[in-house]
Amino acid sequence: MTALLETRNITQRFSGLVANSDVSISVGRGEIVGLIGPNGAGKSTLFNLIAGVFRPTEGSIWFDGEDVTALPAAERCQRGVGRTFQVVKSFETMSVIDNVIVGALVRTTVMREARRKAYEVLEFAGLAARAHVLASDLVPAEKRRLEVARALATQPKLLLLDEVLTGLTPTEAQTGVELVRRVRDTGITVLMVEHVMEIVMPLVDRAIVLDLGKVLVQGKPADVVRDPKVITAYLGDRHAVGA
Amino acid sequence: MTAETIIQSLASGLLMGLLYGLIAVGLALIFGLMDVVNFAHGEFLMIAMYATFFLFAYFALDPLLSAPLVAAALFVFGAVIYLLIVRFAVRAKANAGMVQIFSTFGLAIVMRGLAQFFFTPDYRSINHSWLGGKTVSVAGIFLPEPQLVGALVAIAAFVALYFFIHRTDFGRALEATREDAGAVALVGIDKNRVFALGWGLGGALVGLAGAIMAIFFYIYPDVGASFALIAYVTVALGGFGSVFGAFAGGILVGLVEATTALLLPPSLKSVGIYAVYLLVVFIRPRGLFGSI
Amino acid sequence: MDKDFASRRRRELIVAAVLALLAALAPLFVKDVYVQNIMVLTLMYAALSQSWNILSGYCGQISLGHALYFGLGAYTTALMFMKFGILPWFGMLSGGVLSALIAMALGYPCFRLRGHYFVIATIVIAEIALLLFQNWDWAGAALGIDIPIRRDSWLTFQFTRSKLPYFYFALVLAAIAWFVTWWLEDSKWGYWWRAVKDNPEAAESLGVVVFNSKMGAAAVSAFLTAIGGSFYAQFVSYIDPESVMGFQFSLLMALPAVLGGIGTLWGPLLGAVILIPLTELTRSYIGGSGRGVDLIVYGSLIVAISLARPQGLVSLFSRAKKVPAR
């Protein structure tokens, strides 16, 4: 069976600066894959390319057996790519449930059905009690979960998580880790960008390390952590290894 | 249409354009400083014109002499408006953009009403100023003196503004605040004070423009409205917040207006300006010199 | 929880029906033509502001050029009747469709613009249209059009002897605009619009096609606004460019929503009920001498409310309801 997501020789340049160079990765169905690397490694760029925020300068992106390189973000969502934002982008003037309903409306135009799905997702994400609160009144950890819930409501095949665990307290992070596991258990493939290795390594099936815009190493978390190249790349970034 | 008429109208277009730049630059300055568009900007111009008129009518002060006084008065007025209204408008948590637009719009309507109440809706004009109605001939082109002097004042004001922003402490505080209002608070600059002074400065610049305009334009309560739209277009053409852009935008607007007047009936002369605005933003959604 | 929501929706519908019924009975008690006139205008502005609110309030694309669609509605109806004898009802429909099409054609380039660039583009476009109409001889140029008076009938939608037919039509119009908003609020479009207003990038990531959402909002909004304009032409039976396409109409359409509560279901109605009578009364009682007191009152009100109640007056009512909803 083909991989769910594949990037083929992706290169992305921003007015002369090379953010990604010849990046080819693949994510198999049902996997949790971690995309890690030191600051400025090009993780966010790759992430946004996969989500369809912009088109790569070179190379192609394949999702579910189709070339989606030219598709805009909205259409990728319709095909089954859900995402969260590193800097949370809630619909601030809308209630939590309404935020999630927006996501659910990709799959149905029947409001009753969308609302039912939204409650179901909120329940799953542990936000049901906050359904009628304005999104702007949520605490930061809840806003992160709302991001995940909103993306889940679009019933994605692939969920892209952009640093959803960073900056949380250990308890909050643990809740987050469990949420990601439960997401995978429902059959959704997860690709998560994280800066801090320690959080993601126990969670992921496979890790891809980016450095200076290129794939440095990929493999089982245990192997990746011990790889001398990874250690060197992170050396200038002590915090990330030892945190 | 002879070459002479064309040169003649382009020359007066250029002069008028410099004046448009002067009218608009205060708007650009304030926008650059705090992302606020003053929708009462035209009414600032209107009261400056009335102030010039009354100084002439009661004290026989020529507009050229009263210009600094009017500018000073508008400086105070601008700062007061900031402290009384705008300061609160920018604090709004809900519908921030809307509050900002409509609070200054409301102010514009109040000012128009006050002008009607105190000055009546009658059209006024300054009859015997030093420059009014006179022209000067340069290489066979006749240039109206008020517009010529206005253009020179505009250039002088732009040069002064340039040095002011780049060479004085207040100018630097202004620049720093526009870049990062949060950070300047940490180094002990009072944001409100800088903003109030910015509004004052914006007012003074439009005050100067008003004093010149009063020489050759009718003065009535709604006079600001027509110039306000031109000023917004000028500022947006240049790219909101760019002081240099307002200058360039003004010249462009003046030239386009003159060209349109050559090609279309006079009643349609503004169509050219508006069309150029649309053309520019459709191609460059941030204006000619806009970066953000 | 779904039940709470459903009962709130039902309650809104009942309140609206009761209000409409009360309004429909009002002429039994109000015989004064001057007051009836104010009631017609109030309902018309409620409808117009409700239409404006769809694009600017819900979808967040602030238009200060809606006078364009108002004027197009008025002119299409008047010209079709005067030049070709086509009944105003067809003119009304044509004006609405034409405006919706033009709104989409204009939206195509304009919706790429953001913030003040967009607002100014809307003003400028309406202004260009105004200037063109002022110079368009076939359409009466700056002098405008006197709509030929035939006889009082619903067929020609002309009534010289009584204001009441206009009143009932305005009431129906306001009710339709309200109902369309109510209906769209709990639909895919309503949710898309609010998402686009709050955060277009996040909306896009959730499958919302931002551009189409804006186009949809523009079309609905322009259509309803044009119907209002068409009605106004019949109501005053004389139109000229300045009086139907002038900038003040764009402002007058926006203000009730702004005062009442932008992007809310009840805001435009509440705003119109307060603002329009106030404007008309100050104009005739203190402003009659042309001394601008009406403008002062009106402007101060706008400043005061936008500073003190940025969410609009409607928030005075909803504050109390919000707590039990949790």
For residue B144, the domain's CATH number is 1.10.3470
Q: Which residues of C touch B93 (CB under 8 A)?
A: 310
- pLDDT digit string, tens, across residues C83-130: 787 788 888 899 999 999 999 999 999 998 888 889 999 999 999 999
CA angle A230, A235, A238 (to 5 degrees): 115
Both tokens of B231, joined, read 């000023």
Mean pLDDT lowest for which of A16-30, A177-191, B168-182, B235-249? B168-182
Report residue C187's pLDDT band, with 50, 70 and 90 as the boundaries.
very high
**The predicted structure's pLDDT at residue B35:** 81
- pLDDT digit string, tens, across residues C166-186: 889 999 999 999 999 999 999
Mean pLDDT lowest for which of A10-19, A54-63, C18-27? A10-19
Rounded Cα distance between C136 and C79, Å, is 12
Indicate whether B40 belongs to any domain: yes
**The predicted structure's pLDDT at residue B291:** 54
pLDDT at C148 over 80: no
pLDDT at A23 over 50: yes
Sign, Cα dihedral of C82, C83, C86, C91: negative
| % residues pLDDT > 70 (chain B) | 95
Residue-by-residue DSSP string for B156-189: HHHHHHHHHHHHSHHHHHHHHHHH-HHHHHHTT-
Rounded Cα distance between C71 and C99, Å, is 9
Sign, Cα dihedral of A173, A177, A183, A186: negative
- pLDDT digit string, tens, across residues B92-116: 777 777 888 889 989 999 999 999 8
Q: Which residues of A touch C199 (CB under 8 A)?
A: 89-92
Rounded Cα distance between C175 and C19, Å, is 10
A161/C contact by beta carbon, under 8 A: no
**The predicted structure's pLDDT at residue C325:** 38
**The predicted structure's pLDDT at residue A237:** 55
- Report yes or no: A65 and A48 within 8 Å, Cβ to Cβ: no
Note whether A89 contacts C326, CB cutoff 8 Å: no
**The predicted structure's pLDDT at residue C90:** 84
B31, B113, B120: residue with CB nearest C299: B113
HSE value, Cβ hemisphere, 13 Å, CA-based, for B181: 11
CA angle C249, C250, C252 (to 5 degrees): 60
Mean pLDDT lowest for which of B191-200, B205-214, C60-69, C153-162? C153-162
Both tokens of A80, joined, read 């089954």
Write the single-letter amino acid at B47.
Answer: I
CA angle A208, A211, A217 (to 5 degrees): 35
B94, B109, B116: residue with CB nearest C298: B109
Calculate mean pLDDT across residues C205-232.
94
Q: Which residue of chain B has the CA closest to C296? A: B110
- pLDDT digit string, tens, across residues B146-203: 888 888 888 888 888 888 888 887 777 777 777 776 666 666 677 788 889 889 999 9
Nearest C-alpha neighbor of A121 from the set A179, A204, A192, A189: A179
Q: Which residues of C touch A89 (CB under 8 A)?
A: 199, 201-202
Report residue C1's pLDDT band, with 50, 70 and 90 as the boundaries.
low
**The predicted structure's pLDDT at residue C176:** 95
**The predicted structure's pLDDT at residue C213:** 95
- Report yes or no: C66 and C250 within 8 Å, Cβ to Cβ: yes
Note whether A77 contacts C206, CB cutoff 8 Å: yes
pLDDT at C64 over 80: yes
Q: Which domain holds residue B185?
A: 3-283
**The predicted structure's pLDDT at residue A242:** 44
Average model confidence (pLDDT) across chain C? 87
**The predicted structure's pLDDT at residue A1:** 55
pLDDT at A21 over 90: no
- pLDDT digit string, tens, across residues B5-57: 888 888 888 988 999 999 999 898 888 888 888 999 999 999 999 999 999 98
Note whether C131 contacts B271, CB cutoff 8 Å: yes
- Contact partners of B by the rule of 3+ C-beta pairs under 8 A? C
CATH code that applies to domain C3-316: 1.10.3470
Angle, nearest 10°, between helix axes C115-134 and C247-260?
140
Note whether A105 contacts C325, CB cutoff 8 Å: no
Rounded Cα distance between B232 and B24, Å, is 7
pLDDT at B290 over 70: no
Rounded Cα distance between B170 and C139, Å, is 56
Sign, Cα dihedral of C224, B226, B288, B181: negative
In angstroms, the separation between the Cα of residue B148 and the nearest Cα of chain C is 29
- Report yes or no: B85 and C307 within 8 Å, Cβ to Cβ: yes
**The predicted structure's pLDDT at residue A212:** 85
Instruction: Mention every residue, 6+ apart, whose C-beta is less than 8 A from residue C86.
Output: C80
Calculate mean pLDDT across residues B125-149.
78
ipTM: 0.89
Rounded Cα distance between B174 and B81, Å, is 18
Number of separate domains in chain B: 1
Nearest C-alpha neighbor of C244 from the set C42, C85, C48: C48
CB atoms within 10 A of CB B208: 26
Rounded Cα distance between C67 and C128, Å, is 11
**The predicted structure's pLDDT at residue C47:** 95
- Contact partners of C by the rule of 3+ C-beta pairs under 8 A? A, B
Rounded Cα distance between B30 and C105, Å, is 33
Sign, Cα dihedral of C190, C194, C197, C202: negative
**The predicted structure's pLDDT at residue C298:** 81
**The predicted structure's pLDDT at residue A241:** 46
- In terms of average pLDDT, the best of A96-100, A226-230, C281-285 is A96-100
**Residue with structure tokens 């720093």?**
B176
Residue-by-residue DSSP string for B111-127: HHHHHHHHH-S--B---
Q: Read off the pTM.
A: 0.89
In angstroms, the separation between the Cα of residue B181 and the nearest Cα of chain C is 20
Rounded to a whole number, what is the largest CA-CA distance in chain A?
Answer: 54
Rounded Cα distance between A82 and C298, Å, is 49
pLDDT at B283 over 80: yes
* A206 vs A237, more confident: A206
pLDDT at A67 over 90: yes
- pLDDT digit string, tens, across residues B199-227: 999 999 999 999 999 988 899 998 998 89
Calculate mean pLDDT across residues C125-146.
86
Please tell me the total number of residues recorded for chain B in this structure.
292
